[in-house]
Amino acid sequence: MNPEEFAAALARFDVVLSAEQQAQFAEYYSYLVAENQKMNLTAITAEGDVYLKHFYDSVTPLLEFPELWTTTVTLCDVGAGAGFPSLPMKILNPHLEVTIVDSLQKRIDFLERLCQRLHLDGVHLVHARAEEFGRKQSPDRESFGLVTARAVAALDVLAELCLPLVQLGGKFIAMKGAQGANELAQADKAIKILGGHVVADRALTLPVEEAPRHLVVIDKVVRTPKKYPRKPGTPAKQPIGGQ
């Protein structure tokens, strides 16, 4: 998927890229590839693959759920790595107020430089483990209208990292691949314990290569019990569903 095909794919959803947005995506790609030679940001570096598997894949929540274009959405992206999915979403919808949480300082430093190059305002970068960021004493706990995560962990683990950050009435969107439905079944107990209620499992395919994707949408209907998330490392070692 080259930049022109990327723009055409978005146009099919009535999303028309401005010249500035096209330039932002081009600069994002150039800087990502340049910095990737110095640090491990992504295994995907070919232009067509980045536009398809990173940029297009990242913005699918905006394409599938038009309500996310509202100016009131506060988005927290857990484990964003090189900025996916939140920064492509921010480029498309500048009204999003984005907070990125990542455990590696050098990735946070990269994202800070990237945001400056892309002239992105309203992006807050936090160096922290997700378990610490969402603890009961954190001012950010249950404060976000939307929380996203992509390629971070299995859903039963991810739910414990993300749902404590979602405000009552907000949403957690987990971006999953072909195993999304299986992960959802395994995460059912954890989601309920953490205050979530699954409202959608939107199956879709990426254009060009027809790769399967799942957008699992979970509403926050009850406050998360104060003991969650547990200390760093515990959710991955002892998922709630396995207790």
Residue 210 CB neighbour total at 10 angstroms = 7
DSSP-based three-state secondary structure for 196: strand
- Rg, the chain, Cα only: 17
13 labelled binding-site residue: no
130 labelled binding-site residue: yes
CA quadruple 38, 43, 232, 136: dihedral positive or negative?
positive
DSSP-based three-state secondary structure for 63: helix
Cβ contacts of 37 within 8 Å, gap of 6 or more: none
DSSP-based three-state secondary structure for 116: helix
DSSP-based three-state secondary structure for 79: coil
Per-position b or e across 83-104, b if 16+ CB within 10 A of its CB:
bbbbbbbbbbbeebbbbbbbbe
84 labelled binding-site residue: yes
User: Per the annotation, where are the binding residues?
Assistant: 79, 84, 130-131, 150
User: Per the annotation, where are the binding residues for S-adenosyl-L-methionine?
Assistant: 79, 84, 130-131, 150
